[in-house]
Structure 1
């Protein structure tokens, strides 16, 4: 039964990848989907024997609206590659949000990757697993994918035209928690070595956390993300381990922080707490809190708002720190 379920999951994942590739080939111009895909785990992700969820791609946009796709119950984690016409020698791994129930493709993934690629960055959109789908590693499943993804990107640096010492992680919302977890727990051994790529460091050269879920503390947590990650009644030890602001050490890379004060989904206190923790350890950090912007603005919901300045602010910060 488990073998049949695994075969079904692989078949469904293959259909999804094939569908995206066919769609990309049928489209033309800068908005076409990329067809270059890197599988994270050659023999499948670790700890998936009890996983039965079926990977599902959903189009959520209203008729005539901007494309808004989401991938849920991810069974085969991947990196989707966006290559720049003129590489600047740096790379960015993107972890879009989705409340730890799904990963959004367009708003925080592909659109951001296209913007960054237009400025010379080689970009990789990470489709990471959901912690509530039954993986043996539970809340560490997304971190496993983030560590493995960063190492695979680093292992391909020379071949793809960027420096292995100039790789950033950028995460949004719950994807911001994935990025913050990688930033603080890059050295944690959360999976067994697969190949030579795993001998490389998973530490990003720079981290950007955009309206991120940070804390698991009930005072200002994002309830949905915490429930998906840790269940209904996490222990104090779990709250501590999976709250990145409590895992900050002096070994962290520079961190860029961005939030809107009127965010009603993920309280701005998440970013404030991370900033305070970083400053306490003298980590180079820059925080921008805008009066207006709400949650999930990405690039598409910033028009005529001061928060529209954020991509340029990130680029300035990144260049100042060698990226």
Structure 2
């Protein structure tokens, strides 16, 4: 088993470094101008979500674009938009603990912020034995046929593919969690409350598996789609300029909590000036009303979008360890 795993790691690393099409290596991770910072682990493999292409392609497909927003050559901050090949970037630990986390970066449903809320958290997780999958999901304003269920389709498909391929990554299929940030936190909460919703036509055997995460961690999440609590940009990009009350309700996770939802870990800073903390409070209240396990941490300071890098030196920097301790009690181990 160990030699097989080394072979998988070696093939994935070769494909990542040299662009070869080996095994299941598929759409490459995004690259902006310039080389990756030295010394940082990079994905060993990418997994395209849809083997025959993503369903419901717009008549005029968007073009994928990568923007490097950082001015520091040692700290990348890439934003990706126009995604037509939704995929997961895989980060593997040296000693897997059998658990996996689907990471869903934010970006206000305008783009996907892959470094700050994806790759950096993936490196933190793999250093502790978790296998991490960073999701590059399609964006709802690009005209896809699935409309406002588009991103949920990609998240559901991701969970099913991770379970379908669990043996390749030494993962227990019952120990797959989800974690999302900001708008990605909305998608994380949407996945953990509407995991059973039929948002696409099954395409292969993977789609017979459950999309329900063993536990969910929305971090400074967008939750409500109803003003004034909603984040206006996320709401408009997901639902359009003038959504009906029924549309708002259908896409507000706090209004769709089922009785069999997984345990939740929620984190927010009270001085968040982008996504009001009321979003997390609404979600916690809804989970409590359904007797779903939930742990919530509120910090006085932290602002929005702190991830790991902007939490350093503040009380909120302890949040990943708080999550890890809680996850042990929620089935992730």
TM-score clears 0.5: yes
* Paired residues of 1:73 and 1:101 also in contact (CA < 8 A): no
Where does the alignment leave 5 or more consecutive residues of structure 1 unmatched?
1-13
Equivalent residue, structure 1, for 2:21: none
> Tell me, what secondary structure is at the counterpart of 2:312?
coil
Q: Does 1:256 align with 2:265?
A: yes
Q: Does 1:66 align with 2:106?
A: no
* Paired residues of 2:32 and 2:67 also in contact (CA < 8 A): no
Please list the CA deviations of residues 40-83 of structure 1 after superposition, one character each: whole Å capped at 9, or x if unmatched.
00111111142421110110112456211111011100000000
* Paired residues of 2:37 and 2:74 also in contact (CA < 8 A): no
> Tell me, what secondary structure is at the counterpart of 1:238?
helix
* Paired residues of 2:78 and 2:113 also in contact (CA < 8 A): yes
> Tell me, what secondary structure is at the counterpart of 1:301?
helix
Please list the CA deviations of residues 130-179 of structure 1 after superposition, one character each: whole Å capped at 9, or x if unmatched.
00000011111100000000000011112211110000000000001111
Displaced runs of 4+ in structure 1, greater than 6 A? Answer: 21-24
The TM-score, its normalising length taken from structure 2, stands at: 0.89
> Tell me, what secondary structure is at the counterpart of 2:157?
helix
Equivalent residue, structure 2, for 1:319: 328
Equivalent of 1:298, from 302, 307, 318? 307
Distance 1:15 1:149 in 2: 15
Q: CA deviation at 1:219?
A: 2.2
Equivalent residue, structure 2, for 1:5: none
Distance 1:167 1:160, change over 3 A: same
Distance 1:235 1:23 in 2: 45
Root-mean-square deviation (Å): 2.0
Where does the alignment leave 5 or more consecutive residues of structure 2 unmatched?
1-24
Please list the CA deviations of residues 253-306 of structure 1 after superposition, one character each: whole Å capped at 9, or x if unmatched.
000000000000000000000000001111011000100000000000112211
Equivalent residue, structure 2, for 1:234: 243
Q: Does 1:281 align with 2:290?
A: yes
> Tell me, what secondary structure is at the counterpart of 2:295?
strand
Q: Number of matched residues?
A: 308
* Paired residues of 1:51 and 1:135 also in contact (CA < 8 A): no
Distance 1:194 1:16, change over 3 A: closer
